[in-house]
Amino acid sequence: STSTTCMGVHILVYPYVSSGHIIPLLDLTHCLLDRGLVITVVVTASNLPLLDPLRSSHPSSQLQSLVLPDPGNAPPSKSRLLANMRSLREVHYPLLLNWFQLHSSPPVAIISDFFLGWTSEFASQVGVPRIVFSPSGALAFSVATFVWRDQPQNDHPENLNLSVSFPKIPNSPTFPWWQISHIYRMPKDSDWEFYRNCYLANLASWGIIFNSFAELERVYLDHMKREFQNDRVWAVGPVLPPDDDLTGTANRGGSSSVPCHDVLTWLDSCKDHSVVYVCFGSRTALTCKQMDELAAALEKSGVHFIWCVRQPVEQRRTSSDYGDLPDGFEDRVADRGFIIKGWAPQVAILRHRAVGAFLTHCGWNSVLEGIATGAVMLTWPMSADQFTNAQLLVDQLRVGIRFGEGTANIPESTELARILAESVAETRPERLIAKKLQEEALSAVRGGSSDTDLDGLVRRLNQ
């Protein structure tokens, strides 16, 4: 890494608390530290252990943490996300202001997650630029901008056509608005206002960093450059721990529920590209129906698989809504299935030569990790930007195969079994595309477009 003599400026990095947001921003922090910046990371007490891999590879003269309280019981909001967003502002704003004012050499810029729109107001109060970090792609961010800024009052999303608003995007899908109509159906109450102001603050920020790369989303990144009307739009992804950092990879985002070594040894016994890895991110738990159809499909398909089964993050609905593995399933598939209940070492698994396909909910980190490891992607989007991400994979990049859609569209297990069995065939057309995309992703972060953007970002910060 950079010698400590050429120390860069001091910046504040402020991730949003959930895994899908803090993991990529900590990976980016690793890259910024390697380029000599001095960084203070704002972290809640429960997330502090996630900094361990960073702290073991960077001196405390360069990396500090500012531990602030976990989001408490915020003013009542319909969703956990909004409750957290409000609570983080309520509790952290005054503490952060106090820290800034007392600091002997306060940060010269703030990089904060797009769910922390209020940090724009904070940044202008302390007189430093705020840069948004988007853990989602430029397409998803463009759609959100279109929805929250250009069409806030429109109550008939069905008659909107995305291609109208992005004329420069070839074959852009006519966005299936029903998938985000929940945004439109939100009553225009204080929650809606808070969320919309967050997005408007992001658009008014000094600049934006995407965990994406030019070869993947060029048209959408160019669209965002027109939106921001400046060159302060950087695509620096896929931000991932280095291949040779096995410890950092094995414990990325949390310690694995099974020893990483056991999973990799099991994979060593499998043929190249023969295993389907199944995981729906850090928060999604499957309903009973989804669980039953998927278990039956994995059983009927005969494929080797690793299935990371997640319990609900919070009992938003009664536990009967969530599925458990069918009785006897684990015994019946013991010869070719590896079940992980809890947290899987996802990147270590995807990097193994035996993994050929990735059944994913299309969370943006999983999309990038699947692309960076050359997996054929089976798409089963569940919420948020996952539908947009699935469209990008299937309809535009042609590296994805549609598997399911939310809890409404659950195909029958025999059909799913066929897709699973075909996904690991060497002759799949998607496999060639996946290989090409993987090469583009890896070259972007190894001296290519993402490295160039990252160097440009660091130069601007050091100015």
Q: What does the binding site for ligand AWU look like in residue numbers (CB under 6 A)?
A: 19-21, 23, 135-136, 252-253, 279, 281-284, 308, 343-344, 346-347, 363-366, 369, 384-386
Contacts of 195 (CB under 8 A, 6+ apart): 82, 85, 148, 186
Largest CA distance in the chain: 65
Q: Find the shortest distance in angstroms from Cβ 453 to ligand AWU.
A: 19
Q: Are 249 and 347 in contact (CB under 8 A)?
A: yes
Nearer to ligand AWU, 136 or 449 (CB): 136
Q: Find the shortest distance in angstroms from Cβ 405 to ligand AWU.
A: 14
Q: Find the shortest distance in angstroms from Cβ 363 to ligand AWU.
A: 2
Long-range contacts of the stretch 20-23 (C-beta < 8 A, 24+): 20/135, 20/281, 20/282, 20/283, 20/363, 20/364, 20/365, 21/113, 21/115, 21/135, 22/47, 22/50, 22/253, 23/50, 23/252, 23/253, 23/365
Q: Find the shortest distance in angstroms from Cβ 374 to ligand AWU.
A: 16
Q: Rounded to an integer, what is the distance from CA 204 to the centroid of its chain?
A: 23
* Of the candidates 135, 102, 105, 128, the residue with the CA atom closest to the CA atom of residue 27: 135
d(CA 20, CA 7): 30
Nearer to ligand AWU, 100 or 210 (CB): 210
The amino acid that residue 236 corresponds to is V
Nearer to ligand AWU, 88 or 96 (CB): 88
**Residues making up the chain, counted from first to last:** 463
Q: Find the shortest distance in angstroms from Cβ 283 to ligand AWU.
A: 5
Strand partners, 379: 360, 402
Q: Find the shortest distance in angstroms from Cβ 65 to ligand AWU.
A: 20
Q: Are 174 and 254 in contact (CB under 8 A)?
A: no
Q: Find the shortest distance in angstroms from Cβ 256 to ligand AWU.
A: 8
Nearer to ligand AWU, 96 or 278 (CB): 278
Nearer to ligand AWU, 121 or 245 (CB): 245
Please report how the helices 364-372 and 19-34 are oriented relative to each other, as an axis angle in degrees rounded to 10: 50
Q: Find the shortest distance in angstroms from Cβ 137 to ligand AWU.
A: 8
Nearer to ligand AWU, 16 or 234 (CB): 16
Quick count: other Cβ atoms within 10 Å of Cβ 348?
Answer: 21
Q: What is the DSSP string of 177-202?
A: GGGTHHHHHS-SSHHHHHHHHHHHHH
Nearer to ligand AWU, 19 or 212 (CB): 19
Nearer to ligand AWU, 59 or 342 (CB): 342
Report helix, strand or coil for 103.
coil
d(CA 453, CA 254): 29
Quick count: other Cβ atoms within 10 Å of Cβ 7?
Answer: 14
Looking at beta carbons, which residue is closest to ligand AWU? 20
Nearer to ligand AWU, 434 or 461 (CB): 434
Q: Find the shortest distance in angstroms from Cβ 377 to ligand AWU.
A: 12
